[in-house]
C-alpha cells in the first residue's frame, strides 16, 4: 500500500497566507525526504481553506524543489479551468517534473457554492463540464489538428506545445464521492479516488468496484492494476502516545471542520445553505469515529489494517489538520514514515 501526503493547508487570515504557503513548500520537500509516494494538491478559493488556491501553479513550484516524489491533484476543479489552458499547464509541469504528474480531476466542490459564483460558473453545469474537459484533455495531449465542437467549448488546436513528458499522457484519475460515480469508473475501466469514508464503506465499495469491473468484461490483471492505481483519503495525526495524539489531533480536526462550515455560513446564500443541508446524509468526513485517525504509531497501524484489507493501492493522507503548527505536523509526518509505513511495505 502506497502512502502520500495531501497538502491541504489552512490559513485563517490573509496576513498568514505567505507563511503557510512557505511551510507547505517545506512540507513537500520533507515528504520526499521521508519517502512518501505522492504529494497531492487541492483546489479551493476565497476562504483560506487551501492557502495556495491554484494546484497547477503550486505543482510547478513543488516540481522545481523536488526530484522524485510524484505530484497529483486531489482534485483540480474542472469547471473552473479552460481545458486548453489546463492541458498546456499540465504539459509544462510534466516536463519540469520529468514525468511525475498525476492529473486528479473532479466536478468541483459540493457545497462551497461561492467558489462557483466567484468564477461565474453555474454549479448545476459543473458535472457536464467535467465530462467534456476530460475528453478534451486526452485528445489535446495526443492529437494533432484537433477540433472540438461541444456544449461548452468550441476549439481548433494545431498542436499542443510543449508536448507532455509522459506518453501517451499523464495518468488521469477522477474523484468519486458516491457509489454511483465509483461504479461508473469501474465500467469504464478507470481507477478512482475515494473521499473520506468509514472503513466498512471502503471495504464494501472496493469489493463492488472489482465486481463491476469484472462484470464489464475486464480481465483479472486489468482489475488488479486499476485497484492498485486507486486511492482513498484519510485524515491522520500521529504522536508518541495515544493520549497526546487525541488531545492535539482531535482539537485541530474539530476546529478545521468548524472553520469550513463557518466559511459556508458566511459566504453561501440562504438558498445555497438550504441546498447543502438537503444533500448531506451523515458524511463520514465530519465524524470523529470515521473522519480522523489519531494515535500512536501502533494504534494508527492497527486502524490502517482495514484499509489495507480493502486492497486499495494507496492512501491520500491529510496530515496538517486545520491550523496545526508546522513543527507539530512535521513530527507526525516523521512518525508515520518511520514507524507506520514500514508495517505495510512488502
In the chain, % of residues over pLDDT 90: 93
State the average pLDDT for the chain. 96
Model confidence at 242: pLDDT above 60: yes
Average pLDDT on 31-43 reads: 98
| Mean pLDDT for the stretch of residues 240-253 | 98
Which pLDDT score is estimated for 291?
94
What pLDDT digit, counting tens, does each position of 110-123 carry? 789 999 999 999 99
Residue 105 confidence (pLDDT) above 70: yes
CA distances for 192 relative to 27, 34, 134, 210, angstroms? 25, 25, 14, 12
Asked if 249 and 292 count as a contact pair (C-beta separation under 8 A), the reply is yes
pLDDT band at residue 239 using 50, 70 and 90 as cut-offs? very high
Domain positions in the chain: 2-344
pLDDT at position 100 is 98
Query: What pLDDT sits at residue 276?
Result: 81
pLDDT of residue 177: 87
Q: Say what the pLDDT of residue 138 is.
A: 98
The mean pLDDT of 309-321, rounded to a whole number, is 98
Express each pLDDT in 151-201 by its tens digit. Answer: 999 999 999 999 999 999 999 999 998 999 999 999 999 999 999 999 999
CATH number of 2-344: 3.20.20.30
Q: Give residue 20's pLDDT.
A: 98
pLDDT average, residue stretch 62-80: 97
Amino acid at each position: 500500500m502506497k502512502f502520500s501526503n495531501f497538502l491541504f493547508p489552512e490559513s485563517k487570515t490573509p496576513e498568514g497566507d505567505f507563511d503557510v504557503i512557505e511551510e507547505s513548500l517545506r512540507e513537500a520537500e520533507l515528504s520526499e525526504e521521508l519517502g512518501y509516494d505522492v504529494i497531492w494538491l487541492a483546489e479551493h478559493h476565497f476562504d483560506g481553506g487551501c492557502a495556495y488556491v491554484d494546484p497547477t501553479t503550486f505543482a510547478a513550484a513543488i516540481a522545481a524543489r523536488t526530484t522524485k516524489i510524484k505530484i497529483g491533484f486531489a482534485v483540480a476543479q474542472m469547471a473552473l479551468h479552460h481545458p486548453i489552458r489546463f492541458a498546456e499547464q499540465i504539459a509544462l509541469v510534466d516536463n519540469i517534473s520529468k514525468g511525475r504528474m498525476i492529473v486528479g480531476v473532479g466536478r468541483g466542490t459540493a457545497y462551497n457554492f461561492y467558489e462557483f459564483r466567484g468564477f461565474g460558473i453555474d454549479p448545476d453545469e459543473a458535472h457536464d463540464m467535467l465530462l467534456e474537459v476530460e475528453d478534451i484533455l486526452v485528445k489535446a495531449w495526443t492529437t494533432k489538428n484537433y477540433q472540438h465542437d461541444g456544449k461548452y467549448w468550441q476549439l481548433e488546436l494545431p498542436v499542443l506545445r510543449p508536448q507532455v513528458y509522459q506518453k501517451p499522457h499523464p495518468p488521469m484519475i477522477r474523484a468519486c464521492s458516491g457509489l454511483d460515480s465509483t461504479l461508473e469508473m469501474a465500467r469504464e475501466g478507470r481507477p478512482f479516488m475515494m473521499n473520506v469514508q468509514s472503513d466498512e464503506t471502503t471495504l464494501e465499495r472496493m469489493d463492488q468496484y472489482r465486481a463491476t469491473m469484472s462484470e464489464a468484461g475486464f480481465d483479472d490483471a486489468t482489475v488488479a492494476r486499476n485497484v492498485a492505481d486507486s486511492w482513498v483519503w484519510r485524515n491522520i495525526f500521529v504522536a508518541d502516545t495515544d493520549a497526546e495524539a487525541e488531545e492535539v489531533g482531535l482539537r485541530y480536526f474539530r476546529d478545521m471542520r468548524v472553520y469550513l462550515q463557518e466559511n459556508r455560513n458566511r459566504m453561501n446564500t440562504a438558498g445555497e445553505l438550504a441546498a447543502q443541508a438537503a444533500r448531506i446524509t451523515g458524511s463520514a468526513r465530519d465524524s470523529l469515529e470515521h473522519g480522523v485517525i489519531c494515535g500512536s504509531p501502533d494504534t494508527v497501524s492497527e486502524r490502517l489494517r482495514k484499509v489495507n484489507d480493502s486492497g486499495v493501492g494507496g492512501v491520500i493522507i491529510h496530515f496538517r489538520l486545520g491550523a496545526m503548527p508546522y513543527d507539530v505536523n512535521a513530527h507526525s509526518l516523521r512518525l508515520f514514515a518511520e514507524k507506520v509505513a514500514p508495517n505495510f511495505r512488502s
